[in-house]
Structure 1
Amino acid sequence: MKWYLDFGHGGKDSGAIGTNKTKESDTVLKIGMLIKNNLEQAFEKVITTREDDKYYSLDYRSSKANKENCDYFVSIHMNSSTNKSAKGVEVWVYDEKSKLYTLSKNICSNLSKTINTPNRGVKISKSFSVLRKTKMPALLIEIDFISNSSVEASLKSDKYIKDISDSISKSLLAFVNKSIVDDGIFYRVCIGEFKDKNDAIQLKNTAISKGFNNAYII
């Protein structure tokens, strides 16, 4: 699969800012790059809006995803509220018929348990540009409220950031029947031995046609 990972805001647009000046744009970039690495270790293709602190318009984000013919679009954000006690994860989709509706529920459930935050559930919006203008199924994750002082403090922890990225990664990979690769360890599977090289080539090509793009002959 080809995933489009959209790390919210960036550059002149910092997004929400916590009481102690933690920027949403920096936080989601840090989390998003770890998700990118997890997906790529599982041999998924990943396209991103940005990989540093640069500004890109909403139209640029959806247009790039459409141009790249990505299969799924995932936008990553931190939430904010004037109610400083507000807390919890929520995921937004265009409508209940979205192919990612069940995945969105799983992201909410898994992330809620992982970082011990309320599950605010899946929400519907036809106004979000990246949900409305993308040709592929899309979702937008609001990880938690950066306006909450306890959440903002937790974001200083590398383990907390990794727990968030691993939880989201596991949910995304499970959706395509894969799992996260731990510590960069890869397991190889041999599926046959042949005296005739043509038979080996045929089996390799069959494996590739079924999505095992790293199949090779030894």
Structure 2
Amino acid sequence: MKWYLDFGHGGKDSGAVSANKIKESDTVLKIGMLIKNNLEKNNEKVITTREKDLYYSLDYRSSKANKENCDYFISLHMNSSTNKSAKGVEVWVYDEKSKVYNLAKNICTNLSKDINTPNRGVKISKNFSVLRKTKMPSLLIEIDFISNSTVETSLQSEKYIKDIANTISSSLLAFVNKSIVDDDVFYRVCIGAFKEKSNAILLKNEAISKGFSDAYIY
């Protein structure tokens, strides 16, 4: 698959800004680059709007995705409200017939559970430019409210950022029947058990000759 990852705002457009000056544009770029890395580890093709703090118009974003013939368009944002207690994840799609409607529901469910935030559900809009002008199935994720002091504090944690990225990544990969690669997990293969040590040595040497240089007997 070829994914288009759109990291909201950037450059002269910081998007929403928290009470302590954390920018939406910086936050979604950080999360988005982790998602990009996760998808590429699974041999998925990824196109991005930006990979630095640069400004691009809404038309540029949809036009680039269309020219690249991407399969899916994913736009990342942080929400904001004058109600400082507002909290939760929501995902926007063009209409209920969208191919990614169920994916949007899964992202809401998974993020709500994994980062312990309310599930505000899937919402419909024909007003978002990136949903209206893209030719491929598209969705826009409002990860949580940067205006909420609890969320703002959490965003300063690298683990929290990684948890968000991993949850979105695993949701996207599951949609195309894949699972996220975990760099911290290693699997070992045991070839067999032998009463005669000489037989074990022969098999170990055969494994080494075929490229398994870390084969050993225990």
Q: Give SS of 1:87's match.
A: coil
**Is the CA contact 1:103–1:171 (under 8 Å) kept in the aligned structure 2?**
yes
Map 1:25-104; keep pairs closer than 5 Å: 25-104=25-104
For the residues of structure 1 that align with 2:60 and 2:79, how far apart are their CA atoms? 22
Task: Give the corresponding residue for 1:207.
Answer: none
- Does the alignment pair 1:145 with 2:170? no
Percent identity for Structure 1 against Structure 2? 85
Task: Give the corresponding residue for 1:107.
Answer: 107
For the residues of structure 2 that align with 1:184 and 1:34, how far apart are their CA atoms? 15
For the residues of structure 1 that align with 2:12 and 2:21, how far apart are their CA atoms? 15
For the residues of structure 2 that align with 1:145 and 1:162, how far apart are their CA atoms? 17
Unaligned residue ranges in structure 2 (runs of 5+): 188-218
After superposition, the C-alpha distances for 1:101-157 in whole angstroms (9 at most, x for unaligned) are 000000000000000000000000000000000000000000000000110010000
Shift of 1:186: 9.1
**Is the CA contact 1:7–1:77 (under 8 Å) kept in the aligned structure 2?**
yes
CA RMSD in angstroms comes to 1.1
For the residues of structure 2 that align with 1:130 and 1:179, how far apart are their CA atoms? 27
Shift of 1:73: 0.1
Task: Give the corresponding residue for 2:208.
Answer: none
For the residues of structure 1 that align with 2:160 and 2:184, how far apart are their CA atoms? 20
For the residues of structure 1 that align with 2:72 and 2:120, how far apart are their CA atoms? 23
Task: Give the corresponding residue for 2:23.
Answer: 23
Task: Give the corresponding residue for 2:200.
Answer: none
For the residues of structure 1 that align with 2:12 and 2:186, how far apart are their CA atoms? 40
TM-score norm. by structure 2 comes to 0.84
Q: Give SS of 2:183's match.
A: helix
For the residues of structure 1 that align with 2:21 and 2:82, how far apart are their CA atoms? 15
Task: Give the corresponding residue for 1:132.
Answer: 132
For 1:118, the aligned partner's letter is: P
Task: Give the corresponding residue for 2:179.
Answer: 179
Unaligned residue ranges in structure 1 (runs of 5+): 188-218
> Which 4+ residue blocks in structure 1 deviate beyond 6 angstroms?
184-187
For 1:38, the aligned partner's letter is: N
Task: Give the corresponding residue for 2:198.
Answer: none
For the residues of structure 2 that align with 1:138 and 1:129, how far apart are their CA atoms? 11
After superposition, the C-alpha distances for 1:17-41 in whole angstroms (9 at most, x for unaligned) are 0000000000000000000000000
After superposition, the C-alpha distances for 1:3-22 in whole angstroms (9 at most, x for unaligned) are 00000000000000000000
**Is the CA contact 1:92–1:125 (under 8 Å) kept in the aligned structure 2?**
yes
How many pairs were matched up?
Answer: 187
**Is the CA contact 1:41–1:184 (under 8 Å) kept in the aligned structure 2?**
no
Q: Could you say if the C-alpha distance between residues 53 and 186 of structure 1 is closer, same or farther in structure 2, counting changes exceeding 3 Å? A: farther
After superposition, the C-alpha distances for 1:173-207 in whole angstroms (9 at most, x for unaligned) are 000000001117799xxxxxxxxxxxxxxxxxxxx
